[in-house]
Amino acid sequence: MRSALHIIKNITRMLGYIIRFSPMYFISMTVFCIYVSAVDTLSGTIAVQYIFNSLQRGTDFKTVFMFLLFVTAAMVVRHIMGAYVNYLSPLAFTKIKAGINRMISRHAVKMDLEYYESPKFYNDFVWASAQADTKLGALMNTYAVLIARLSEAVFLGLVLSSIDRTTLYIMLAVILVRVIFENIYSKKYVKMEQKAKPCERRRDYFRRILYLSDYAKEIRISDMHKTLYKRFCDTMSEIKEIYRKDGRILAVYMTAARTITSGVLDASIYLYLAYNAVITKTIMFGDAAAIISSAGSFSWILTELLMTFPEFIKHSLYIDSFNDFMDTRPRLEGQQGRNILNKNGTIELKNVSFSYHGESKRSLSNIDLTIRPYEKIAIVGYNGAGKSTLTKLLMRFYDVSGGAVYYDGVNIKEYDTKEYRSNYGAVFQDYRIFAGTVAENVVMDRVRSREGIWESIESSGLGEKISELKDGIDTQLTKEFYEDGTNLSGGEEQKLAISRIFYKDCGIIILDEPSSALDPISEYRLNKTILSLSEHKTVIFISHRLSTTCMADRILMMENGEIIEEGSHAELIAKNGKYAEMFNLQAEKYRKTFQSSY
């Protein structure tokens, strides 16, 4: 278990965020909790003591009435303050949650890609973002309970101390024993939760898969849901067994502890009061009544106060994940450096090697390559050859493990990361269409100017489809937020993604199998259009299909992370090596295409 100081730092840090995003609510809630504690003490223990003692002393009615009027006024103010805090609460939590989620989102987009391949980072990120709303509310509730019970304990302790300090000492002694029991209980409870946590993660995974659209089609054409459901049930059984076995021990332990301490407290207080009231006659009726009514209250207050500690321990476990995520610093993203002076510079890879984090096997080995300005390069090879990894190194999504990548004669590590990447237009194999307008999906930003958007859409071959839509480029895509939103077909989505590279002012274009959803003829025509419209740009395209490789100035054949062949289409066919073998396997499918075009 983490130290108390660590837990305090965690809680303080998170409360600091709450104060930053909604200071008025935090102050109002704190003041309200303290005021309520004062009023409860006044209307409870102090009122009982005053009324009984007034009866015994024969105090006049007017004085008693004025006291009760004061108590009533204090309670009215309490309700007014409560109404104000309730009014602030919904807006305050909206602002707090928005602020925290904004922090998480802004931090997430700054992180290096390699972190998303780390299960710990990904779990921290998912945990931090998914739990932010509920955990913040729970933390604020626990804080409110802490302030309320702490102030009640102080007020009640002062009253009891003024009446009879011995009774206060008896209560504190018994409660100290309770603290020891509660501390042991808290540690055992946290251990139980930590034991159950891996099972709960598995449970959440199986439950999540059953409703995510990403898995919906595969589940519906197979019996995989049966396997998933069985594993879900097995996991639930494991969780229930943990809580049944450990929970039963905890319940017996805490019941015995509380029964013993409560019994000792009640017996000690009653015996002490009986002795002073009957034998020594040194205590007034009002004082005795106040002590009796306070004994149970004081015990309950301190018990509730102590119960906030295990709650804070649980909050701290979440905050640990949140802090791990927020404290992770990127190595590549946001790096400042030189600006790009030439959009059409030469790219050089010198003895480049690369391994993904945590993997000993190299994904790329000893790559030496020069790509000249305006050159059209095709990178081909079977799955796992290292094609996409190579392009990720070119765009500096990762740093090389060995060797170096140069742009215009300068190591790309010396460039400002954002500035360097702005010179690349890319369509990835796993491109995404966002829930926004057609224009926003082309610009990939807020639409400040409509200039060039329509031309980019027409260049990608999607103009006819978009012109048929009622709102044109202002049409909302997907039905995520709008029932009348438009869902494009796979091929149309790819054309829309390709329109982004026509819109962007960049010197280098990377196409990572962007046309795989198109038929061979459409793919050929689209790639031919891309190359013709990119005459003054460097183009690097990756493809399993070789229907367009003959249009490239140079073809790189990759295998096992190395470039094994290099040359034009004609040169590699004449060489009769791996490329020729791969091309000939597809030749029958594409023969008519090439015959009609060459």
- The DSSP secondary structure of 120-177, one letter per residue, reads HHHHHHHHHHHHHHHHHHHHHHHHHHHHHHHHHHHHHHHHHHHH-HHHHHHHHHHHHH
CA 529 remoteness from chain centre: 41
Using CB atoms within 10 Å of the CB of residue 540, give its burial: 0 to 12 exposed, 13 to 18 middle, 19+ buried.
buried
3-state secondary structure of 480: coil
| Residues whose CB is less than 8 angstroms from the CB of residue 377 and which lie 6 or more positions away in sequence, other chains included | 371, 538, 539, 540, 541, 552, 553, 554, 555, 556
The type of residue at 318 is: Y
Q: pTM of this prediction?
A: 0.62
The type of residue at 67 is: F
Helical pair 285-327 and 224-274, crossing angle rounded to 10 deg: 150
Give phi and psi for 418, each to the nearest 5: -65, -40
The pLDDT, as a whole number, for residue 154 is 87
The pLDDT, as a whole number, for residue 317 is 77
String of b and e for 227-254 (b: at least 16 CB within 10 Å)?
ebeeebeebbebbeebeeebeeeeeeeb
| Residues whose CB is less than 8 angstroms from the CB of residue 550 and which lie 6 or more positions away in sequence, other chains included | 569, 570, 594, 598
H or E segment to which residue 183 belongs: helix 165-209
Report strand pairing: 402-407 vs 410-411.
antiparallel
Angle 348-354-357 from CA coordinates, rounded to 5°: 145
The pLDDT, as a whole number, for residue 598 is 44
User: Among candidates 241, 288, 295, which has minimal Cα distance to 268?
Assistant: 295
One pLDDT digit (tens) per residue for the chain, 598 residues:
457 888 888 888 888 888 998 899 999 999 999 999 999 888 888 888 888 888 777 888 888 889 899 999 999 999 999 999 989 888 888 888 888 888 887 877 777 777 666 666 666 666 666 666 677 888 888 999 999 989 988 888 888 777 777 777 777 777 777 777 777 777 787 788 778 878 887 888 877 777 666 676 677 667 777 777 888 888 888 888 888 888 888 888 777 777 766 666 667 777 777 777 677 777 776 777 777 777 667 777 877 887 788 788 888 877 887 887 777 777 777 778 888 888 889 999 999 999 887 677 888 998 999 999 999 999 988 888 888 889 889 988 888 889 999 999 999 999 998 889 889 988 887 788 888 888 998 988 888 888 889 988 988 888 889 998 888 888 898 887 788 888 888 888 888 888 888 888 888 988 887 666 566 666 777 777 777 778 888 999 887 767 677 788 899 999 999 999 999 988 999 999 998 888 888 776 555 544 554 4
CA 290 remoteness from chain centre: 51
377 forms beta bridges with 540, 554
Instruction: Report the distance separating Cα 249 and Cα 363, nearest Å.
Output: 52
